[in-house]
Structure 1
Amino acid sequence: MTIAYHVEIADAHAHLWRVTLTVPRPAPLQRLSLPVWIPGSYLVREFARHLSALEARQGTRAVALTQLDKATWQAACDGRGALVVTYLVYAFDTSVRAAYLDAERGFFNGTSVCLRVEGREEEPHTLTLGALPRGWQVATAMPAQPGKARAWTAADYHELVDHPFTLGRFWHGRFDAAGVPHEFVVTGAWPGFDGERLLADVKKICEAQIALWHGRRRRDVPFARYVFMLHATEDGYGGLEHRASTALIASRRDLPRKDAPSGNGPADGYVNLLGLISHEYFHTWNVKRLRPAEFARLDYARENYTSLLWFFEGFTSYYDDLVLVRAGLIDEARYLKLLAKTVNGVLGTPGRTVQSVAQASFDAWVKYYRCDENTPNATVSYYTKGALVALALDLALRAGGHGSLDDLLRRLWQRSGGGAIGEADIVDVVRAQAGDAIADDLHHWVHGTDDLPLAPLLARFGVTLAPDASAPALAAALGLRVSEGPVSGVQVKTVLRGSAAERAGVAAGDELIAVDGWRVRRLDDAQAWVAPGARFELLLVRDQRVRRVDVQWPAQPARPVQITLDAQAPAAAVALRRAWLRP
């Protein structure tokens, strides 16, 4: 017998799964625990808070369960037969990280529903599903048990919880990429959704990435089958990678439509969706297999710290949009606009001068997933700045005649056998490929807080990075991030460090009422009568009290940058650019 889980619908309207766990040959004091986090999302999420009604027995004998901590129970077994534990899981989390159930669909990750049998993690595990509503289908990349319906098997607990399940009535498509079967399921799409276009475009992404990692050695693809699981919602965006699948959430309006007008390239929302798909698929290599040394053996009971998310998330973020242009899904100008958005996001974050991208990686557990009004002032995103580190390294390698970042990734893959690596491994490969100077540059970019030398690097590729000539909007010029407020329509979410708004005494949470005595519902409306560089009076409300502050519109506000093709670039620069964007 194997460690076995039976998952069934207890009450769809109450959003309850019922799980039955069977443990053959349990220890006299058998510990069971639920993970507190899910790999790929670096925050302790306390999934055990959704468990209830735990009961245990051996045969007809009730077994006492003692809770030892927030997510661990101990069963007092007597050695006579298998331990059978039943419990309910409340499932109403619409994200990709946990579990969901209603009358229309179901979804779960093993980290939310499968108690870990401590000490037995390396043994085979099986999972079966109970009866499902008429017409429901099941999608998962977990290998099916031969000859059994709704039954799957995993080599160990780690594989078990790395295969999410999607259940319900869904659109289902298939394609082969480099000879490997891929499936795509979509729930919640509007009528008129163009599934055939989605399949064709995603196939191009997959083939481009397989070629990047394996070149002509397509037989080395590290999975035999891959499943994309997308849930379309009114307004959502996100994804979580797994070893042979990914769970995705996107807005319905971002899916391709059969009646969409042709010309002008794909819509922005669809490009963002393709970028998300590209990102999560790239993780199949970069973090699920090639992974931080600290993740070689995951601890499901606590934080797993690493300073390398700049590489595993940041470098993946660099390639997600780059693959789109290489696959022919967007043109070079469109790609450079996406790149400019990333650059402006980093330059607009004062925290980039406070925290290195390596420190940001280590602090992900307490900072990245716990954003507040001061986050932009205190930290930098290892996604976006990590992507720019990858860009700088790729350009430096190519411009110096030292190959490319593609080559470096393949060398890392071969050196590690597609396994765990540390920062020293990355630096060693850079040093071997390009010498000490670029290796030292990489260390400075990762552990320092200076801005990256992107403009001169891009110039060598016939690409211009320069400030936008247009004047920034008033809120941006003042260093404010605002949203709709309950009274005035303008509420301050963030005041950037060193900004004009901070000097004037504006604070997060303030509601902005009027400018120079005129009521405003959008702060930028005041540009109709306030000139750049002028002083004005701002009326605001804080803690139910009305206040007036004098604000100086900066004479030389920071401007966002544009990244464009240089029409006058010499032939050598154009050749470098083509090798970079169209290899």
Structure 2
Amino acid sequence: MTTSRGRSPSPRAAVRYTVSVLSAHAHLFAITLRVQSAAKNQRVSLPVWIPGSYLVREFSQHLQNLGAWQDGQPAELKQLDKHRWQVRCEAGKPLELRYEVYAFDASVRTAFLDATRGFFNATSLCLQVLGQEDQPHALEIEPGPATEGWQVATGLSPHRVDADGFGHYRARDYDELADCPVEMGRFWSGRFTAAGVEHRFVVSGAGAWMDGARLLEDTRRVCEAQIALWHGQGGEKPPFDRYVFMLYASGDGYGGLEHRNSTALICQRSDLPRQRAPGEKPAPLKATDGYTTLLGLISHEYFHTWNVKRLRPAEFARYDYNAENHTELLWFFEGFTSYYDDLMLRRAGLIDEACYLQLVAKTLNQVRQTPGRLVQTVAQASFDAWVKYYRVGENTPNATVSYYTKGALVALCLDLTLRAEGHSSLDAVMRELWQRCKGGPMREADLLRALKRLGKRGFEGEIAAWVHSTAELPLPSLLQEAGAKVTHEKAPLAQQLGLRVAEVNGSVLLKNVLRGGAAEAAGMAPGDEWLGIELPAPRRGGAAEAWRIHKLDEVAELRGLQPSLTALVSRDRRLLRCTLHWPTESQTVRLAVGDAVRLALWLQE
């Protein structure tokens, strides 16, 4: 038996949960909730969203067979709305509720269970006891036949757990319980120390070929770089005494969700580092490598430990789990984190300058190819995340801009401007905000004050133009001044035509038709299947030519030099002809190393 290290004994929990596997094959968790001292007619609720993922997800849809007991007798339950219930009970006495939750969502946001693995966030499994959210909570993870040979990993403080991690955990309140997901299964596990703090990394679903030692070492270097950014070399300790990375390697998945001392991650299994032959050196990482993407994800979620989990929008000072929590600051908390995630890979020495600049160019081109950037400001995109960013449709790129990507470019603009003017850097601004807001709630005004103090002038004009308007960002000139070489190259055909397509089994399916593009002018629409093209007669008196296409690039090959063609599309089983006028050539930005000395002042700080 083990107990939490370096902690005083926890008070008896007012709210206790026991979680066990009811049926792995039916994907059912069984939960028992015990309330030490219930209120009269106690109310309980299940959150409708999880912090960090800004969409109402209705977790209560998976809750079933809810029952309540007091004094050993059934207590009457009344459902009040989609996620709240009231128990007819007496005040001051213990109350017990038992229920089941269906768990078969392999994302980082909810809960999953089968015969190989279990995972859950408390927001999906643990009913809130209304009025007692600030009381000490306890969670027991109960072993059973279905979990034979399994282990448990979580950021929760252990109270009485066995060698595999099953047993009792404590949380100061419901918020802490909700912020510590649980991974269960036969996973790979490793540990490292960064800045004197123990970090655990568990990977579920990996093949025996995974190079765990490399994963640990590369992650350690990222963590060391970030701790140094926030607290300085050999400075104060990070705001946690241990940290857990929980990675699920799947056949085709990607995502992450940040927590106060842990993160849940998903990657494609093929993105994991592979073991090398003895003496074989790892090849330099490229921007297109899946492992580079995985390291960027790890870096992103770890950076959130400071930027959004502690330093957070004032609107998030206290989460309301019952409804949307709006803020205009996601461009800062998600966007600035997106700026630093890849930059920390460079600072940690995991990628070189050329690779990093390719990643910046990718973000820059993504924003430039989004017509919604001219429709919605990045502050509005932050506020509308609940109804636009997380509800992706065929018109999404025309109506909104990503606060991740444009927010990252705003951070880049500020960093390069501060450095060009010679007074400070964005690193110093982030540290100033951490100290000014005491690692807690902040407002845009706090950022402006930090910029003014460190930058020696006001930045209201830049924030107004870059955040609260749809004006283009002055990145080409800033990047060149910082030592990057900015060139342009021919854009892919889909971008030239104003399309986003999927090529499936020999069919070209239109996913998005971008605002102001040639495809929109031709009358093409999302959902169309582009079957072929018709070309005018090649010579006078001849017949028009019609060609079947199976890939988009065939359009350019077949059109020759014709200024227009007729696109043959299928829409709702009707065959339509759309006259497509070939656009002037569009370009994408390409970044490379220009002045290596100036570039190093930015990238190797």
Note whether the superposition's TM-score is higher than 0.5.
yes
- 1:551 to 2:573 alignment: no
Which consecutive residues of structure 2, in runs of 5 or more, have no partner in the other structure?
A: 1-11, 535-545
Aligned residue among 536, 550, 560 for 1:521: 550
Q: Does 1:270 align with 2:287?
A: no
TM-fit CA distance, 1:482 = 0.7
Alignment of 1:484-563 (within 5 A): 484-485=503-504, 489-516=507-534, 517-531=546-560, 534-554=563-583, 556-563=584-591
User: Displacement of 1:229 after TM fit?
Assistant: 0.2
Indicate yes or no: 2:180 matched with 1:159.
Answer: no
Cross-structure match for 2:405: 384
**In 1, distance between residues paired with 2:366 and 2:315?**
29
1:141 equivalent to 2:155? Answer yes
TM-score by structure 1 length?
0.96
1:474 equivalent to 2:493? Answer: yes
Q: Residue type matched to 2:138 in 1?
A: T
2:229 aligned partner, one-letter code: L
Rounded to whole Å, the distance in 2 between the matches of 1:230 and 1:222 is: 22
Q: Distance in 1 between matches of 2:586 and 2:50?
A: 39
After TM superposition, the score normalised by the length of structure 2 is 0.93
Shift of 1:264: 4.2
- Which SS does the other structure have where 1:368 is aligned? coil
Aligned partner (choices 101, 122, 127) of residue 115 of structure 1: 127
Residues 9 and 18 in structure 1, CA contact (< 8 A), matched pair in contact too = yes
Alpha-carbon distance in 2 for matches of 1:241, 1:288: 8
Structure 2 CA distance for aligned equivalents of residues 455 and 147 of structure 1: 56
Alpha-carbon spacing, 1:147–1:137, altered in 2? closer, same or farther (3 Å): closer
Aligned-pair CA distance for 1:475 = 2.3
**What secondary structure, in the 3-state scheme, does the structure 2 residue paired with 1:529 have?**
helix
Q: Distance in 1 between matches of 2:427 and 2:452?
A: 15
Structure 1 range deviating more: 305-314 or 449-458: 449-458
8 Å CA contact 2:451–2:458 kept in 1: the answer is no
Q: Measure, in 2, the Cα distance between the counterparts of 1:255 and 1:465.
A: 32
1:187 and 2:216 correspond: no
Residues 173-572 of structure 1 mapped to structure 2, 5 A cutoff: 173-216=190-233, 218-259=235-276, 262=281, 264-266=283-285, 268-468=289-489, 471-485=490-504, 489-516=507-534, 517-531=546-560, 534-554=563-583, 556-566=584-594, 569=595
- Partner AA of 2:151 in structure 1: Q
User: In structure 1, what is the Cα distance between the partners aligned to 2:403 and 2:531?
Assistant: 36
**Equivalent of 1:82 in 91, 94, 97:** 94
Deviation, structure 1 residue 273: 0.2
- Structure 1 counterpart of 2:179, which letter? D
Deviation per CA, 1:81-106, whole angstroms, max 9, x where unpaired?
31000000000011000001111110
Residue 475 of structure 1 contacts residue 523 of structure 1 at CA under 8 Å; is this kept in 2? yes
Structure 1 residues 345-354 or 78-87, which shifts more? 78-87
TM-superposed CA distance for 1:576, in Å, is: 3.6
2:9 is aligned to none
Helix, strand or coil for the counterpart of 2:43?
strand
CA distance in 2: counterparts of 1:372 and 1:80, whole angstroms: 50
Would the alpha carbon gap of residues 579 and 533 (structure 1) be closer, same or farther in structure 2, given more than 3 Å must change? farther
2:448/2:458 contact within 8 Å kept:
no
* SS of aligned partner of 2:67: strand
The residue number in structure 2 matching 1:101 is 113
Q: 2:138 aligns with which of 126, 133, 151?
A: 126
Residue 69 of structure 1 aligns to a residue in which SS?
Answer: coil
Residues 202-238 of structure 1, C-alpha deviations (whole Å, 9 max, x = no match): 0000000000000035433100000000000001000
Tell me the equivalent position of 2:5: none
Deviation at residue 80 of structure 1 after TM alignment? 6.5
Q: Paired residue for 1:48, among 60, 65, 85?
A: 60
C-alpha displacement at 1:391, in angstroms? 0.2
What is the DSSP-based 3-state SS (H/G/I as helix, E as strand, rest coil) of the residue aligned with 2:239?
coil
User: For residues 80 and 146 of structure 1, what CA distance do their matches in structure 2 show?
Assistant: 27
Partner Cα distance (1:82, 1:344) in 2: 59
**1:262 deviation in Å?**
4.2
SS in 1 for 2:108: coil
Structure 1 match to 2:43: 31
CA distance in 2, matches of 1:80, 1:385: 53
Q: Deviations over 1:34-64 (max 9, x none)?
A: 1000000000000011000000001211111
* 2:103 is aligned with 1:91: yes
CA contact (8 A) 1:236 1:250 kept: yes
Work out whether residues 41 and 91 of structure 2, in 8 Å CA contact, stay in contact via their aligned partners in 1: no
* 1:473-510 CA-partner distances (Å, limit 9, x unpaired): 33221111111357x61110100000001111100111
Amino acid at match of 2:442: I
Residue 308 of structure 1 contacts residue 423 of structure 1 at CA under 8 Å; is this kept in 2?
yes
Tell me the secondary structure at the aligned position of residue 569 of structure 2.
Answer: strand
- Give the % identical residues: 55
Shift of 1:118: 0.5
Q: CA deviation at 1:285?
A: 0.2
Distance in 2 between the 1:147 and 1:463 partners? Answer: 53
Q: d(CA) in 1 for partners of 2:49 and 2:91?
A: 32
**How far is the alpha carbon of 1:432 from its aligned partner?**
1.5
How far apart, CA to CA, are the structure 2 residues paired with 1:385 and 1:459?
A: 19
State the shift of 1:191 in Å: 2.1
Q: CA deviation at 1:440?
A: 1.9
Q: Distance in 1 between matches of 2:345 and 2:559?
A: 42
TM-superposed CA distance for 1:437, in Å, is 4.8
CA distance in 2, matches of 1:219, 1:28: 47
Residue type of the partner of 1:190?
G
In the TM superposition, residue 431 of structure 1 has moved relative to its aligned partner by 1.4
Amino acid in the other structure paired with 2:548: R
Q: CA deviation at 1:438?
A: 3.2
